[in-house]
Every structure is written in C-alpha cells, then in structure tokens.
Amino acid sequence: MKANDIYRFGEGRTGIGQAIEFTCPPGAEEEIRSFLQKKVRTINAPVTHRVNVPHGGYGQYTRYNIIQHRYAGGGSGGCCGFIEILEIKNPPDGRWGIVIHKYSSRDGSVFTEWEAIENAQAAFRGSEESSALGFKRRVVCGALRPWFYAIGDELLVGDYTFPDGLQDDSVFRFGEKFVVFDYEGVWVIKTCMGTRFIEERRENSESTKTECFRLVYWDDGSVWDERRGGKSPRPVEEGEEWITEAIQQFKEMLVGNNAGFTINFSDGNKFVGKLARPKNSFPCAEGRYLVVVHFKDGGSKEGWVEDFAPSKETPDIVQHIIKGFANAKKSRVVNCVEIKKAVVKKGGKKWLGVFFVRS
C-alpha cells in the first residue's frame, strides 16, 4: 500500500480483546479484523496518546484525532450545556467526520452530520434545520455517549459508545428488543444497550434500608428508571417482529424515502400504508424533468430541469420552476408548466416528508 493510495479507517480487536485502529484499502476491513482476531494477541505502539477536546472549564477525552472548530457554552434554569463543531480526522468504518454536537444536562447529547465544515459553520451561526445546505442526518444520543467520544477499548455500537459500568442482567440483555411503554400506555420497540444497577440507602429514625434498582439504557438514548413505576418493558414476543419492520418502514415514509409500504401477515392479510396526495398535486419525486414552461407575458421555454429534490420551499417540481424564474436575474411570471418526461432518481426522496423542520 503506497502513501498516496486511497484508504479507509477501521477498528478491530485482537485475540484477547485489545482495541486496534488501522487504515487499509477500501473493502479490506473485514479481512483485517479477521486476521487481528485469529492471529494477533496484542499490539503495542511506541507512543500512545489520547486527545482532550476542551469544553469550557473542563475537557473530554477521545481516542480520535479531533479538531474543535467552534464552541459555545451556557445554560439557565438549572440546565447547563454546550454546542461545538467537530471535525473527526479518522472516523472509522464509514462513520461521518463533520458534526455539530450539542449537550445539555437535561437532555443529554444530540449531533447532526454535515457535508462540509463550511455547511456546519453556517448552521452554527444560523439554523440547524434539516433543509439547511449540507445537512445529512440528526442523531439523538440522550444518556448515551456519541461514538466520537469513545476512549480506550470502548466498543462502538452504531452511533454510540458502549457505556462503561453496564452489568449483565438476566432479563435486560444487550442487543435484545423490548416493548417499552410510556405513562399513557403507548408503546414502542427499542433495543437494550445494557443495564446499570444502583444501590440507594434510605435512613429514618428507626432503621437504615438499602434498595437496589435498575437503569436500562435504550438504543435511542432514553433510559428506563425502575423506580418510576408504570408498566415494565417486556421482551418482544415471537411473531411480533413484523411490528419492528412496520415502524421502520413508516419512519422511512415520514422522511420522504418512500410513498407507501405493505406488511404481509401470516394469515394472508396485508396492511397497506400509503401517502394520499390531493388530486391536483404535482410530481415531487427527486430526479430530472423535461418540461415546457409557458409565461404570462407570452412565449414558452422547453428544457430539462436537473437535480430537483423536494424541499420546504419547493415541495414539487412546479413550485421549483415558478420560484426559479421569479428569482432569476430577469424574473418572469409562469402561467403554466407542462411536464413531458420524468426520470426519477433511484433511492432519492419520493416526497418532502414531514421531518424537514425541527424545533
């Protein structure tokens, strides 16, 4: 492998579980992980270090090479926190390296991913809405720690680090799916990230009593506190797997990645969910369109509209064309638009979605 070859960052573990960072050609990650596991016991580097990313009056360690481009801290009403722009120079296994990370003592961590530092800088100064230029996605970590603040031998599980101090539990086991209820009895399926047992001493004039309770951490960053009462989470039962699939497909539809989905039941019945749009609505799928535009002052223009994608400002191709001519150097008023051909982008957004604006 030459110094100027294209390479990717990866992580693996040796035969005794030592966490190793490596770089390799694209596609060789699994081969190297397998080699480390089967052939290597330990690797000792001549010099080791951890990076400390400053957060106001204290720092936060990480095993990654991180540049903090912006930072601001503060708080009120008993809630303190900070916001920062981070550029992770060596993100492993395809994870994205440009993020805006927010933390508050009340809500925990949330981070958003951005195409470029310039996009993150603009969002830091203005709005982090998902319609902003360069926005990729938003991840709510809650009580869990984001992957880019992993240290030492901590495992990465998706977008999070595997929390320290989690213990084995005969019921709430890591990776198992559970039906979790809120206070009104509404439930959702979540994946367990582990359990922490807490001992609490209670004293009165007659005796001292020690109580033990669980804190169960879920994959969406939320925590179930056993002391709060209500219905306890239960494991997903056999035959309920379709619920997870239905929820995931519904989320895909809400963000505009599809316009409908079907769930097949074992008895032959089907659940069909689809977007019902008004009859006078216009095409809104991401792609390129061949159109003829007729103007109010006379004349017309035919041509391809390239790289259309639905947004809050222009949810369909017609609104996109009308606003485009209205904002042009020599603005013109569009009378009507004739759509002659549409080439929909494979895997592109099918419609605007309902999560473009977040408070």
Q: What tokens appear for 23 in the block?
A: 């770089």
Helix intervals (H) in 130-257: 241-254
CA–CA dist 353, 199 (Å, integer): 45
The better pLDDT of the pair 88, 262 is held by 88
CA–CA dist 92, 41 (Å, integer): 21
- At 354 the pLDDT is 62
pLDDT band at 108 (very low <50, low <70, confident <90, very high): confident
Burial 39-72 (b: 16+ CB within 10 A, else e): ebeeeeeeeeeebebebeeeebebbbebeeeebe
Q: What angle do CA 241, 244, 248 make, to 5 degrees?
A: 145
Alpha carbons within 13 A on the beta-carbon side of 285: 16
- At 359 the pLDDT is 34
The better pLDDT of the pair 193, 101 is held by 101
Share of the chain above pLDDT 70, in %: 83
Which one, of 112, 190, 193, 137, lies nearest residue 160 by Cα? 193
pLDDT of 232 > 90? The answer is no
pLDDT of 91 > 70? The answer is yes
Question: For 246-299, what is each residue's pLDDT tens digit?
Answer: 777 777 777 677 778 887 776 677 878 777 777 667 788 889 999 999 998 888
CA 265 to each of CA 48, 225, 229, 245: distance values in angstroms, whole numbers, following the listed order = 55, 34, 34, 12
For the chain, percent helix, then strand, then coil, each to nearest 5?
Answer: 15, 40, 45
Domain residues of the chain, as ranges? 1-48, 51-161, 177-235, 241-274, 287-344
Rounded average pLDDT over 177-199: 80
- At 356 the pLDDT is 45
pLDDT of 101 > 80? The answer is yes
Question: For 300-352, what is each residue's pLDDT tens digit?
Answer: 889 999 889 888 788 888 989 898 888 888 888 888 898 888 888 887 877 77
pLDDT of 59 > 70? The answer is no
pLDDT band at 88 (very low <50, low <70, confident <90, very high): very high
pLDDT of 194 > 90? The answer is no
Mean pLDDT of the chain: 81
Helix intervals (H) in 192-232: none
pLDDT of 140 > 70? The answer is yes
DSSP letter, residue 227: G
Question: For 36-53, what is each residue's pLDDT tens digit?
Answer: 888 887 786 654 445 666
Share of the chain above pLDDT 90, in %: 14
Phi first, then psi: give them for residue 170, nearest 5 degrees: -70, -20
pLDDT band at 117 (very low <50, low <70, confident <90, very high): very high
Which one, of 42, 150, 133, lies nearest residue 90 by Cα? 150
- At 48 the pLDDT is 41
pTM: 0.48
Helix intervals (H) in 54-181: 117-125
- At 347 the pLDDT is 76
CA–CA dist 33, 223 (Å, integer): 32
Q: What tokens appear for 281 in the block?
A: 């609505």
pLDDT of 203 > 70? The answer is yes
pLDDT of 85 > 90? The answer is yes
The better pLDDT of the pair 136, 78 is held by 136
DSSP state letters, 37-71: HHH-S----SS---EEEEETTEEEEESS-EEEEEE
